């Protein structure tokens, strides 16, 4: 189970820089996601780790060993593809056995692994079926079993859940995480779905335009975004531009408290659900629109031509047009790095 | 009442009937003509031949070089088909999976043999071969057929190669497959129908090709079409021509049916991704 180091990797396709000088470290046995919008370079980076692409610059290390020049078949990796990429003419069982057979594993050991994986992933009843006789979720499991059958130290996931419906996605997501803990492998997971990234990862690497915008644990990256892009891409965010003086920024809603020195121009950011509704609140605004979401309530509050998005428990019953007062905890407000020149 | 499904059934059976007639009538006529007894000719008022016999068949077999011609045709065709496929494969691969400057032009150039009349190609091909020092008739016709029919193989195989899913190729490599293993797992299942189709088309075109076989081969080297055409010339003998025509057609039909079965069984591979 190797740890992975990416050192100064850049990738150029013709005139386009898909990756510009990316460095990151994946600890042994960790589950990390590469998160970003399409075209951010996340899949390119995954293909470089797998060995399908050779980077224009930089190195890839597994446990300190340089594998940059190594072919995919010689790397300790297995990939789960977005389209599943099952062999359409081979049965479920033969698909799973493909890797061990190519690696000339002992027959008994191959059979043991295949049976074990089919058992674990609930594929035993479908062993003899061809992939096109299976549902999307089942195909996804076959792809996963096929990757795990070579007992890889690193499993690479390329948006493996994007073709599944929402409910199945939650289920398979949990299964993948369970399996990763149980079997033990280093996982690199590519997705554009921030909920997936937050729910599964030990560490999230947020990519934008071929560079790592921010990295950190799910909580850190959600509650402490450092840039406008990070604030915006992961969930909803409220932003305020203006000067900070005396530990607060004056806004049409009232003073937003912040733990930062005075400055002429900064951008503050906080998440909609950190808000506390209270009669004694220092901030206030008019409720322009209410959207009941079941478990929670989305409130769109306006003042001075600006709109904030607040999220409160679904048990509140607030009519549109009402004026509400609220507080924002000082520790929940962050100053964005690229606020001053934005 | 004329309900829509009934109308559709009616139209479908009508269409089938027309096609069957279209195929069967000439076929039946050829069969009847080939069985006309040489002693009692089939002429105007008779609807059916007055007497039937296999004498024309035995006569043709004994008095002509039909057996040699059949040997020539039925060895030329498969060899030409396999050679064309082998030579077309790299080009088709490049057209389907590699981007290179001038690709569009190259694709048009490979198709040009299709628009040249066969006789034009044949006339100049014969002289080129002689100046290259190729004197073997068999070799010359084989080479000619490969050149003439390679565009079909290129065209069909280009489509096949384009259908191979890059992620499946990557998956095979990722799981440790060698070059051959990748070919077997990712390429062959998708290519197989295209290869069979190319084989069938080149085979049939080669069996039926006349111009080049005639110009390069005649008079000493015969194929089935050159014999057939010799019965359509000044001394047109319809029963004899019918015998040769049937010999030309029947194996093609059989081959087509066999390959059709192979194609069906070879195709679990409607490559799926989303489900």
* Residue of A44, A52, A71, A83 to mutate when probing chain B, most B C-beta within 10 A: A83
Q: Is the Cβ–Cβ distance between A142 and A95 less than 8 Å?
A: yes
Mean pLDDT of B212-236: 81
How close is the nearest chain A Cα to the Cα of B161, in Å?
16
Domain endpoint, select from A195, A228, A261: A228
Of the candidates A50, A77, A136, the beta carbon closest to that of B274 is on A136
Is B184 touching A (CB cutoff 8 A)?
no
Window 142-161 of A: residues touching B by CB (8 A cutoff) are 146-147, 150
Contact B174/A98, CB-based, under 8 Å?
no
Q: Which chain B residue has the Cα nearest residue A88? A: B269
Residue A40: both structure tokens together: 């951010």
Same domain, A9 and A146: yes
* Distance of alpha carbon B55 from alpha carbon B61, whole angstroms: 10
Domain endpoint, select from A185, A204, A228: A228
DSSP-assigned letter for residue A127: T
Contact B177/A98, CB-based, under 8 Å?
yes
The percent of chain B in helix, strand and coil, each rounded to the nearest 5, is: 75, 0, 25
Sort out which chain B residues have CB atoms less than 8 A from A162's CB and list them.
none
Map out the domains of chain B with their CATH numbers: 18-53 (no CATH), 61-265 (1.10.3720.10)
Average pLDDT, chain B: 85
* Distance of alpha carbon B19 from alpha carbon B12, whole angstroms: 11
Q: Which chain B residue has the Cα nearest residue A96? A: B175
Same domain, A180 and A101: yes
Contact A131/B168, CB-based, under 8 Å?
no
Mean pLDDT of B215-220: 81
Sort out which chain B residues have CB atoms less than 8 A from A87's CB and list them.
168, 171-172, 185-186, 189
CB within 8 Å of B225: residues ≥ 6 apart: B73, B207, B208, B209, B210, B213, B214, B248
Predicted complex ipTM: 0.80
Task: Give residue B164's pLDDT.
Answer: 93
CATH number of residue A263's parent domain: 2.40.50.140
Task: Give residue B160's pLDDT.
Answer: 95
Q: Which helix (H) or strand (E) holds A258?
A: none
Sort out which chain B residues have CB atoms less than 8 A from A150's CB and list them.
175-176
Q: Report the candidate in A251, A263, A255, A250 with the shortest Cα–Cα distance to residue A336.
A: A263
Is B31 touching A (CB cutoff 8 A)?
no
CATH number of residue A103's parent domain: 3.40.50.300
Q: Are strands A154-158 and A77-80 parallel, antiparallel or unpaired?
A: parallel
Is B274 touching A (CB cutoff 8 A)?
yes
Q: Which chain A residue has the Cα nearest residue B188? A: A89
Same domain, A218 and A275: no
Contact A98/B186, CB-based, under 8 Å?
no
Mean pLDDT of B164-176: 92
Domain endpoint, select from A177, A207, A228: A228
Same domain, A52 and A179: yes
Same domain, A23 and A164: yes
Residue A273: both structure tokens together: 């659900």
How close is the nearest chain A Cα to the Cα of B199, in Å?
22
Number of residues that make up chain A: 342
For chain A, strand residue ranges (E) read 4-13, 16-26, 31-35, 57-62, 65-66, 77-80, 154-158, 186-191, 203-208, 211-216, 238-244, 248-251, 254-257, 263-270, 276-277, 283-292, 296-303, 306-313, 323-327, 334-335
* Number of domains, chain A: 2
Angle at A89 between CA A86 and CA A94, to 5 degrees: 70
Of the candidates A89, A102, A147, the beta carbon closest to that of B189 is on A89
Sort out which chain A residues have CB atoms less than 8 A from B186's CB and list them.
87
Q: Is residue B231 over pLDDT 80?
A: no
Q: Is residue B153 over pLDDT 90?
A: yes
* Distance of alpha carbon B245 from alpha carbon B248, whole angstroms: 5
Is A102 touching B (CB cutoff 8 A)?
yes
Angle at A98 between CA A92 and CA A103, to 5 degrees: 160
Q: Is residue B273 over pLDDT 50?
A: no
> Mind listing the pLDDT tens digit of every residue in chain A (342 residues)?
889 999 999 999 988 999 999 999 999 999 999 999 998 999 999 999 999 999 999 999 999 999 999 999 889 999 999 889 999 999 999 999 999 999 888 999 999 999 999 998 889 999 999 999 999 889 999 999 999 999 999 999 999 888 888 888 888 888 899 989 998 999 999 999 998 999 999 999 999 999 999 999 999 999 999 999 999 999 889 999 999 988 999 999 999 999 989 888 899 999 999 999 998 889 999 999 999 998 899 999 999 889 999 999 989 889 999 999 999 999 999 999 875 444
Contact A50/B177, CB-based, under 8 Å?
no
A340 in a domain, yes or no? no
Domain housing A200 = 4-228
Contact B173/A90, CB-based, under 8 Å?
no
Q: Report the candidate in A41, A48, A29, A53 with the shortest Cα–Cα distance to residue A187.
A: A29
Residue B239: both structure tokens together: 């029963």
Is A167 buried (19+), middle (13-18) or exposed (0-12) by CB count in 10 A? exposed
Give the rounded distance of the alpha carbon of B180 from its chain centre. Answer: 29
């Amino acid at each position: 189970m190797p740890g992975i180091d990416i050192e100064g990797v850049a990738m150029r396709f013709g005139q386009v820089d898909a990756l510009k000088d990316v460095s990151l470290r994946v600890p042994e046995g960790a589950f990390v996601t590469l998160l970003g919008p399409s075209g951010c370079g996340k899949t390119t980076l995954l293909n470089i780790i797998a060995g399908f692409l050779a980077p224009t610059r930089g190195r890839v290390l597994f446990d300190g060993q340089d594998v940059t020049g190594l072919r995919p078949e010689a790397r300790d990796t297995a990939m789960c593809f977005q389209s599943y990429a099952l062999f359409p003419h081979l049965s479920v069982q033969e698909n799973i056995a493909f890797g061990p057979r190519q690696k000339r594993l002992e027959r008994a050991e191959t059979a043991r692994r295949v049976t074990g994986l089919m058992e674990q992933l609930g594929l035993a009843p479908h062993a003899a079926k061809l992939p096109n006789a299976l549902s999307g979720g089942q195909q996804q499991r076959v792809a996963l079993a096929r990757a795990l059958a070579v007992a890889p130290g690193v499993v690479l996931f390329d948006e493996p859940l994007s073709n599944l419906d929402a409910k199945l996605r939650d289920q398979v997501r949990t299964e993948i995480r369970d399996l990763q803990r149980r079997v033990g492998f280093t996982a690199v997971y590519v997705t554009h779905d921030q909920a997936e990234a937050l729910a599964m990862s030990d560490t999230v690497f947020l990519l934008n335009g071929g560079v790592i915008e921010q990295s950190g644990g799910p909580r850190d990256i959600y509650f402490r975004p450092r840039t406008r892009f990070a604030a915006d891409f992961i969930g909803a965010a409220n932003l305020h531009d203006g000067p900070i003086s005396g530990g607060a920024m004056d806004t049409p809603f009232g003073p937003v408290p912040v733990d930062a020195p005075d400055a002429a121009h900064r951008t503050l950011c906080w998440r909609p659900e950190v808000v506390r509704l209270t009669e004694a609140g220092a901030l206030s605004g008019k409720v322009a629109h209410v959207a009941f979401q079941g478990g929670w309530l989305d409130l769109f509050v306006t003042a001075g031509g600006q709109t904030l998005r607040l999220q409160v428990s679904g048990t509140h019953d607030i009519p549109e047009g009402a004026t509400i007062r609220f507080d924002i905890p000082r520790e929940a407000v962050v100053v964005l790095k690229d606020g001053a020149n934005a | 009442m004329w309900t829509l499904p009934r109308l559709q059934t009616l139209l479908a059976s009508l269409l089938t009937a027309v096609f069957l007639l279209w195929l069967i009538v000439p076929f039946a006529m050829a069969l009847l003509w080939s069985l006309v007894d040489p002693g009692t000719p089939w002429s105007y008022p008779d609807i059916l031949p007055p007497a039937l016999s296999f004498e024309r068949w035995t006569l043709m077999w004994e008095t002509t070089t039909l057996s040699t011609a059949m040997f020539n045709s039925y060895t030329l065709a498969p060899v030409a088909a396999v050679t064309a496929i082998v030579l077309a494969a790299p080009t088709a691969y490049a057209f389907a999976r590699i981007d290179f400057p001038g690709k569009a032009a190259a694709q048009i150039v490979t198709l040009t043999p299709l628009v040249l009349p066969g006789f034009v190609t044949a006339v100049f091909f014969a002289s080129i071969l002689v100046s290259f020092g190729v004197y073997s008739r068999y070799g010359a016709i084989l080479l000619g057929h490969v050149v003439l029919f390679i565009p079909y193989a290129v065209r069909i195989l280009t489509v096949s190669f384009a259908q191979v899913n890059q992620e499946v190729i990557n998956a095979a490599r990722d799981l440790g497959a060698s070059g051959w293993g990748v070919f077997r797992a990712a390429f062959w299942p998708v290519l197989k129908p295209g290869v069979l189709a190319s084989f069938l088309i080149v085979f049939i075109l080669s069996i039926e090709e006349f111009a080049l076989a005639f110009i390069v081969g005649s008079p000493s080297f015969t194929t089935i079409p050159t014999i057939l055409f010799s019965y359509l010339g000044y001394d047109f003998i319809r029963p004899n021509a019918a015998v040769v025509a049937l010999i030309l057609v029947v194996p093609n039909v059989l081959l087509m049916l066999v390959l059709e079965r192979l194609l069906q069984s070879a195709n679990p591979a409607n490559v799926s991704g989303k489900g």
